[in-house]
Amino acid sequence: MVNETEAEAQVVYPRKIRLEDGQEVAMRLMIPADASRMVSFARSLPEEDLLFLRMDITKLNVLAAWGRNIKEGRTITVLAEVADKVVGYGSLHVDEVTWQRHLGEIRMQVTPPYRSRGLGRAVGAAIFAIARRQGLHKVIAQMTTDQKGAIATVERMGFQREAILKDFVIDREGTTRDLIVMSVDVGGGASAS
């Protein structure tokens, strides 16, 4: 278990956490100038991880758009770093559409050597704390149904299945896949019927 409580996840960044094995990881908020560092991170991921990314973050122009979203407040990203190298991230994406302004979407990725060590849970806790501070009610996660590890990770974080959409996404190889939508209440407010 990560040596971090929910309250600690709300500490101002940058900050340091300890993983289950005692290794220290620095966490900070991403800024637009981190685009090239994020491209390096993405290019270090296994090919099978890249198949399921919603956008191709191996391309600098895609990361430039991500940086604009950060600058405009549509995305908040927490980076996890070891020796100034990105080893994971979590992003909260908000939609300004009036009827979905209470929702945020979480997107996370951790490099293989840091999986199953508590980093994903720490990044998730940080994103949940940010979602609460933003006054959001729910956080959703979307992934393909064959991403068993990702599904198990978000289920451990309290997410529940909301819907499965048949042949809703297409991967880099042109294969359609079913999309699962999961959500969790983050306590930012009460939902209205």
Q: Where are the domains of the chain?
A: 8-141
| Residue range 8-141 in CATH 3.40.630.30 | yes
pTM, entire model: 0.86
Residue the block writes with tokens 């945020």:
104
Token pair belonging to 105: 């979407």
Tens of pLDDT, residue by residue over 144-168, are: 998 888 898 889 889 999 999 999 9
Examine residue 14 and say whether the peptide bond preceding it is cis (omega within 30 degrees of 0). Answer: yes
Tens of pLDDT, residue by residue over 88-141, are: 999 999 987 778 889 999 999 999 999 989 999 899 889 988 998 888 999 999
What is the distance of C-alpha 48 from the center of its chain? 17
